[in-house]
Amino acid sequence: MKTVTTYLDTRGLGHGNHTFTDVVVTGIAPGGGLFVPESLPHLTLPEILAFSAMPYWRRAAAVFTRCGVDLPSDRIDLLMRQAYGAQWSDERIAVIEEVVAGMHVLELWHGPTSAFKDMALQCMPQFFSEAISRKQEREELSDDILILVATSGDTGKAALDGFADRPHTRIVVFYPVNGVSDIQRLQMVTQQGDNVAVFGVRGNFDDCQSAVKEAFADEEFRFWLHTHAGVRLSSANSINWGRLMPQIVYYVSAYADMVASGGVVAGEPMDVCVPTGNFGNILGAYYAREMGVPIGRLICASNENNVLADFIATGVYDISDRDFVTTPSPSMDILISSNLERLLYHLAGPEAVRGWMGELAQNKRFQIDRETFKTMREFMVGDYVSNDESLATVKRVFDETGYLMDPHTAVAWEVAERTHDHNPMLVVSTAHWAKFGADVLRALYAVPYAAPLPAELDELSGVDVLAKVQEIAPTAALVPRALAELDSAKVRFASTVDSGRDGIVAVVEDWLS
């Protein structure tokens, strides 16, 4: 009989005994903390290296099984075959390219929505619907689940694709009408599936997110959902442990592939550099390191919203006097980096975390103690890249190597170059360039971030922009078919709503009726 891992929470307020499927369905821990595993498995070097001969789904199943997921192994195998199957454009799933000697790019965007969010969101909904059907069988739960998502771009589409037609789940996504790119909007409003809906919110991302939060907190709405539609609310955001666990897999997998290709000597360390927003992706690397993967330094790359780079440099997390900046890497535009709380828990324990999170809520600032700071600095490095620097990096790397990267990846590449020493470097690439085609075009024409494009380029629609980039950058990865065909895809969701709780509640009730 295999052992089942139980989960604790970062603020020490829960009463334990949650299993993996519990924490996936529950999302956030009671008391506002985040779920963390009570223990991690240790993977031996031969065990890690054996991954290179396995298909990706089997690598994922091996990690999930070793991490004590409370499902039978054959069931985990089946779910992972579905998560990492034919919907990926490359059967290797997490693909490594050595772009210049010693600098390797880990491409995490071969999934159906062309962004790294697919790595987790093709996987987590499988566990979600499995967990719900088991709970319903045991009569611990009668309702199905309604996922509400407020998105500034990548998460909405990846969540729609992951949950589409998944049993026992429905999903409604809200995006700011004026806050997502052409491509991102088209990707969402053309989504297939009987259990999905998408609405534009007249306002910016903050309006959108606050309205969804208000709906979540609304008892009357929850009661209506339960009695009239047989659903209860849940969320799929990146603090859900079900999104983190799949992100451990690709670091184990990458190390095995790096050894197999001669990029690193077995047992020797590689460094990883991750373009970071909510700290989820880089936390996957932290856990892989804790589980025995030879990772040297974890390098955290930020854009102009550089609260994390400052924190790693000083031990002070301070948003009291910090404005939100817009950047060409919008998926990293964040002030409160939620998953950092999990790292702090592992370094300093629940009492310390409770104190720091209290200070953050009250004073918009906290400072970690010297001991914790010292421990963190033994393996974490941070730096940031300005808007114009990130676009210049896209162009420079393309001119020098023929490899075209998106602006998020460029942030990590630039920081990786600055920090690269004797260890092989793994630069994590989080989006296909075509998802951010307009800014990539700007980069290739050396137009600064805030300046207008030349008139003849400015007129191009989303999909024409991609064709233009492909024309001037013939060595770039091809535009994924799903993106190239967006202009001719049928728009299923054209409605917009006013921001605020009332608008959102009304359209959800109407959709479910």
Span of 4-12, 111-119, 249-257, 464-472 interacting with ligand PLP by CB under 6 A:
111-119
Nearest to 61 by CA among 75, 42, 80: 80
Residue 19 phi, psi (nearest 5): -100, 175
CB of 106 to ligand PLP, least distance (A): 12
* Distances from the Cα of 232 to the Cα of 147, 349, 366, angstroms: 8, 32, 35
Q: Residue 154 or residue 207: which is nearer to ligand PLP going by CB?
A: 154
In the chain, the N- to C-terminal Cα span, in Å, equals: 45
278 binds ligand PLP (CB under 6 A): yes
Tokens, residue 169: 């789940």
Q: Which of residues 38-97 bind ligand PLP (CB under 6 A)?
A: none
Q: Which of 127, 174, 279, 449 binds ligand PLP (CB under 6 A)?
A: 279
Q: What are the backbone dihedrals phi and psi of residue 231, each rounded to the nearest 5 degrees, phi first? A: -130, 155
Minimal distance, residue 279 CB to ligand PLP, in Å: 5
For residue 45, which phi and psi values (nearest 5 degrees)? -60, -50
Identify residue 213 by its one-letter amino acid code.
K
- Window of 23-31, 262-270, 272-280, 497-505 that interacts with ligand PLP by CB under 6 A: 272-280
Rule CB under 6 A: choose which of 114, 240, 430, 470 binds ligand PLP: 430
Exposure string over 238-267, b if 16+ CB within 10 A, otherwise e:
bbbbbbbbbbbbbbbbbbbbbbeeebbeee
User: Shortest approach of ligand PLP to residue 334 CB, angstroms?
Assistant: 7
Question: Cβ closer to ligand PLP: 280 or 350?
Answer: 280
- Which of 332, 343, 440, 441 binds ligand PLP (CB under 6 A)? It is 332
Cα separations in angstroms, 392 against 446, 449, 464? 7, 10, 22
Q: Which helix (H) or strand (E) holds 145?
A: strand 144-150
Residue 278 or residue 393: which is nearer to ligand PLP going by CB? 278
Least Å distance, CB 301 to ligand PLP, is 9
Q: How many helices (H) and strands (E) does the chain have?
A: 23, 15
Q: Is 473 in the site for ligand PLP (CB under 6 A)?
A: no
Q: Are 466 and 479 in contact (CB under 8 A)?
A: yes
Between strands 144-150 and 169-176, the pairing is: parallel
The residue (of 166 and 408) whose beta carbon lies closer to ligand PLP is: 408
Residue in 408, 432, 442, 468 binding ligand PLP, rule: CB under 6 A: 408
Question: 3-class DSSP state for residue 320?
Answer: coil
Q: Does 431 bind ligand PLP (CB under 6 A)?
A: yes
Query: Looking only at residues 124 through 183 of this chain, which bind ligand PLP when binding is defined by CB under 6 A?
Result: 154
Q: How many residues bind ligand PLP (CB under 6 A)?
A: 17
* Residue with tokens 């821990």, as numbered in its chain: 29
For ligand PLP, the binding residues in 281-300 under the rule CB under 6 A are: 281
Q: Based on CB atoms, which residue is closest to ligand PLP, 77 or 154?
A: 154
Say how far apart CA 176 and CA 129 lie, in whole Å: 28
Residue type, 463: V
CB of 378 to ligand PLP, least distance (A): 21
CA 463 to CA 466: how far, in whole Å?
Answer: 5
The DSSP code for 365 is E
Q: Which is nearer to ligand PLP, 115 or 479 (CB)?
A: 115
By CB under 6 A, is residue 116 in contact with ligand PLP?
yes
Interface with ligand PLP includes 342 (CB under 6 A)? no
Binds ligand PLP (CB under 6 A): choice among 331, 387, 390, 423: 331
Residue 327 binds ligand PLP (CB under 6 A)? no
Closest to ligand PLP by CB, 116 vs 384, is 116
Which residue in this structure is represented by tokens 């008892």?
219
177 alpha-carbon distance from chain centroid: 22
Instruction: Pick the binder of ligand PLP from 28, 79, 83, 115 (CB under 6 A).
Output: 115
Nearer to ligand PLP, 189 or 434 (CB): 434
Contact letters (x/-) for ligand PLP, 222-261, by CB under 6 A?
A: ----------------x-----------------------
**What is each CA distance from 143 to 11, 138, 197, in whole angstroms?**
29, 13, 19
Answer yes or no whether residue 275 interacts with ligand PLP by CB under 6 A. yes
Let me know the angle formed at the C-alpha of 328 by 333 and 112, rounded to the nearest 5 degrees. 85
CB of 168 to ligand PLP, least distance (A): 26
Beta carbon nearer to ligand PLP, 437 or 503: 437
Element at 25 (helix H, strand E): helix 20-26
- Residue 510 CB coordination number (10 Å): 10
Q: Which residues bind ligand PLP (CB under 6 A)?
A: 115-117, 154, 238, 275-281, 331-332, 408, 430-431
